[in-house]
């Protein structure tokens, strides 16, 4: 991708649906189990918050919409359709706008795929996580492997583009078993697949089990072996690791997620949704803001009905914060952070914005490359990105 194209970052819209059938033990997302949902009330609230966002961001061109959660495939397809219609009323959209719905492979969701497509969804991202029943049970998934394969088959027939997730580095994960499972997944995939290493997040059921020694994850050596197998197999199948955990054939990258990683602006609506917004000020200038909606679904819903939006916090992003976020996001990609992005986001050239001595150390160690195209991480650097970022920005390190 050229530097010019990398900087043509359209406006993105993220819509959060907070409800799930059950809470997975590894999940730290803002998701909730609810016995009953008033879909008409939720549709009206999401549309109201979207309208409030449109008033703050006139004249933008929307290139992607992402329905995340939670399990947004449990919402009424008509809700998605109403929101998509509103978006196209409020803003111009790109000819190739990507509108993604996260989905689980349960029977209810699969049977709704055609209805979602009829309401404007043109891409689904399916939370498969494993292709065998034993590991699906361990991961707390409510579907089985047969349902997962059926969901992928239906998605391939309904949508031109779809993606799905798998989690590796499960307890006692045998490398050759992972190689076989990954090869099967790549045979099914149609251009995009997300492959995440299991991480133990605070506040999850897995965290509690891990803390008391009841859950043992692969050690560093085994995790490295599994990671290397992941890279070998995806590369052999023609998939580029365009982001640390995301693999795609050329042109099949997630356009919405690229908005995040290229440090573009996006509006987030729904409980707990985050946004990065260039907010117009009274003098006509714009100020970069981090916007967060209230996490609790009922509190968010009440606030929207009373004031038109569920904003809990709106914080100006100072230059040093923008620098750290931009570099953290950009180094996840296999493309450079263009020189012009530094100027656009923080008004400084890279060598003036970053600690030059630490930058040179990371270049010399083979973790970073800095040239006329910009700044990027090598494969080695991306494999240990947390340490690279810590050294680059934490001067106590």
**Whether residue 124 is found in the same domain as residue 17:** yes
Shared domain for 364 and 243, answered yes or no, is no
Question: Would you say residue 281 lies in a domain?
Answer: no
pLDDT at 1: 38
Q: Do residues 220 and 332 both lie within one domain? A: no
Residues 34 and 170 occupy one common structural domain: yes
Any residues with CB less than 8 A from the CB of 170 and at least 6 apart, and which? 130, 135, 138, 139, 198, 217, 218
Any domain includes 104: yes
Q: Mark the ranges of the chain whose per-residue pLDDT is less than 70.
A: 1-8, 23, 25-30, 395-397
Please state, as a whole number, how many other Cβ atoms lie within 10 Å of the Cβ of residue 379: 11
Look at residues 259, 281, 308 and tell me which one is the last residue of a structural domain: 259
Same domain, 140 and 237: yes
The verdict on 232 and 95 lying in the same domain is yes
Q: Residue 28 has what pLDDT?
A: 59
Q: What is the pLDDT of residues 60-91, one digit of tens each?
A: 999 999 999 888 999 999 999 999 999 999 99
Q: Are residues 212 and 360 in the same domain?
A: no
- Cα separation, 252 vs 258, in Å, equals 11
Contact 276, 290 (CB under 8 A): yes
Taking the alpha carbons at both ends of the chain, their separation in whole angstroms is 34
pLDDT at position 25, please? Answer: 66
Identify the domain containing residue 31 by its residue range.
11-259
Strand partners, 279: 287
Q: Residue 362 in contact with residue 380, Cβ under 8 Å?
A: no
CA distance 234 to 247: 7
Rounded Cα gap, residues 6 and 318, in angstroms: 23
Q: Considering the entire predicted model, what is its pTM?
A: 0.92
Same domain, residue pair 15 and 106: yes
Report the domain count for the chain.
Answer: 2
Which residue carries 């969701």 as its tokens? Answer: 109
Q: How many CB atoms lie within 10 A of CB 94?
A: 14
Tokens of 114: 């055609």
Among 221, 238, 259, residue at a domain's last position = 259
- Looking at the structure, do residues 216 and 334 belong to the same domain, yes or no? no
């Amino acid at each position: 991708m050229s530097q010019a194209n990398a900087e043509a970052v359209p406006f993105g819209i993220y819509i959060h649906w907070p409800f799930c059938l059950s809470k997975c033990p590894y999940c730290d997302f803002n998701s909730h189990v609810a016995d009953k949902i008033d879909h008409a009330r939720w549709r009206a609230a999401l549309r109201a918050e979207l309208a409030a966002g449109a008033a703050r961001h006139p004249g933008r061109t929307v290139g992607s919409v992402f329905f995340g959660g939670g399990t947004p495939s449990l919402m009424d397809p008509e809700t998605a359709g109403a929101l998509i219609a509103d978006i196209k009323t409020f803003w111009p959209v790109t000819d190739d706008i990507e509108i993604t719905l996260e989905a689980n492979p349960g029977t209810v969701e699969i049977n709704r795929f055609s209805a979602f497509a009829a309401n404007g969804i043109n891409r689904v991202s399916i939370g498969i996580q494993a292709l065998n029943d034993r590991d699906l049970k361990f991961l707390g998934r409510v579907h089985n492997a047969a349902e997962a394969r059926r969901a992928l088959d239906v998605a391939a027939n309904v949508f031109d583009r779809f993606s799905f997730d798998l989690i590796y580095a499960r307890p006692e994960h045998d490398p050759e078993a992972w190689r076989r499972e990954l090869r099967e997944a790549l045979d099914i995939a149609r251009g995009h697949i997300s492959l995440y290493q299991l991480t133990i997040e605070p506040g999850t059921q897995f965290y509690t089990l891990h803390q008391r020694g009841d859950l043992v994850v692969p050690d560093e050596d085994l995790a490295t072996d599994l990671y290397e197998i992941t890279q070998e197999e995806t590369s052999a199948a023609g998939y580029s690791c365009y982001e640390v955990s995301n693999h795609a054939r050329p042109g099949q990258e997630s356009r919405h997620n690229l908005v995040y990683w290229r440090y573009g602006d996006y509006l987030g609506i729904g409980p707990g949704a985050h946004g990065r917004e260039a907010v117009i000020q009274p003098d006509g200038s714009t100020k970069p803001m981090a916007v967060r909606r209230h996490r609790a679904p009922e509190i968010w819903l009440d606030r929207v009905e009373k004031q038109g939006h569920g904003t809990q916090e709106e914080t100006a992003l100072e230059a040093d914060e923008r620098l750290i976020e931009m570099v953290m996001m950009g180094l996840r990609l296999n493309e450079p952070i263009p020189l012009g992005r530094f100027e656009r986001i923080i008004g400084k050239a890279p060598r003036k914005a970053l600690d030059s001595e630490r930058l040179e150390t990371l270049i010399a160690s083979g973790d970073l490359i800095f040239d006329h195209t910009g700044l990027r991480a090598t494969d080695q650097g991306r494999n240990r990105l947390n340490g690279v970022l810590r050294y680059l920005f934490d001067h106590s390190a």
